[in-house]
Amino acid sequence: MKRFVALVIFLAVLIGISASAKAQNMEPKMRLSFHIQNEEIGAVRDTLNEFAKGHHFSIFDNGATLPPKPDDGRHIFYLILKSEPDHSIEVHVTNVRHTDEMLVGVYEPKSTPQFEKVTSVLEQVIRRSWPDLAPYNGP
């Protein structure tokens, strides 16, 4: 019964995130993925925090509010970075599909000329530690 309730809550949160993006007519402008070792979750968080501080992004830890995945009980890593002060760029980073695969979705809710420059720097920062960073074409 607990697994069923956890599954329902987990799906409701994911549906809410998806509905929010669709309501804002947002599709990722860039989708990337890279692989990590389990012990590298902290390094991913530190890398994103460093990028955020250096490029005026605020950080929201949505993973902290998600229940464990019902199928394997693991906690989901899910950070959202939003450019300040106008939130013209959003970066979503999660391992929702697999423990060792990080997915990066970059959104542009408001058109900004800095998009290409900022995303290029983000790619460089991630690629320094995870050289397998590549475009993601999956679901």
**DSSP string across 87-121:** ---EEEEEEEEETTEEEEEEE-SS--TTHHHHHHH
Cβ contacts of 82 within 8 Å, gap of 6 or more = 57, 58, 60, 89, 90
Q: Give the pLDDT confidence score for residue 62 in this predicted structure.
A: 87
Is the full-model pTM beyond 0.85?
no
Supply angle C-alpha 93, 94, 95, rounded to 5: 145
For residue 15, pLDDT over 60 is answered with no
CATH, residue 44: 3.30.160.110
What is the domain count for the chain? 1
pLDDT tens by residue, 24-63: 557 999 999 999 998 899 999 999 999 999 999 999 998 8
More confident residue, 13 or 79: 79
Cβ contacts of 89 within 8 Å, gap of 6 or more = 57, 82, 83, 106, 107, 108, 109, 112, 114, 115, 118, 119
Domain residue limits at 85 = 2-135
3-class SS of residue 55: coil
Q: Give the pLDDT confidence score for residue 131 in this predicted structure.
A: 97
pLDDT band at residue 108 under the 50/70/90 scheme? very high
